[in-house]
Amino acid sequence: DAGITQSPRHKVTETGTPVTLRCHQTENHRYMYWYRQDPGHGLRLIHYSYGVKDTDKGEVSDGYSVSRSKTEDFLLTLESATSSQTSVYFCATALSGTDYEQYFGPGTRLTVT
């Protein structure tokens, strides 16, 4: 295991509230990713980071922002949660790009009511 934790593991929030999910890793991996998983869709990339303060958008980045101020932490923020953001969110890390194995966190189940 790459020692990846996510917090919280479960959250219920109301529409319009801000939400921050945290991914923490202990492996000193350079790359970190945030995905969402929904029925009928594969894992979809929200944002990723290729180093401290270096981030880029994925295919479903609207409504999400990220920050990475230190190697071990990657934060995903929903500025104003909507019901369409109800999903399971996975964090993953990799030593480098896609030629390296990705290690996944346990997931966060977010419900926006």
Provide DSSP, 8-56. -SEEEE-TT--EEEEEEESS--SEEEEEEE-TTS--EEEEEEEETTEEE
- Contact between 50 and another protein by CB under 8 A: the answer reads yes
Stretch binding another protein (CB under 8 A), from 11-19, 21-29, 37-45, 64-72 = 37-45
Cα–Cα distance for residue pair 99/60, rounded to 1 Å: 22
Among 11, 44, 73, 95, binds another protein (CB under 8 A): 44
Q: Does 20 bind another protein (CB under 8 A)?
A: no
Interface residues toward another protein, by CB under 8 A: 31, 33, 40-45, 48, 50, 56, 58, 88, 90, 92, 97-104, 106-107
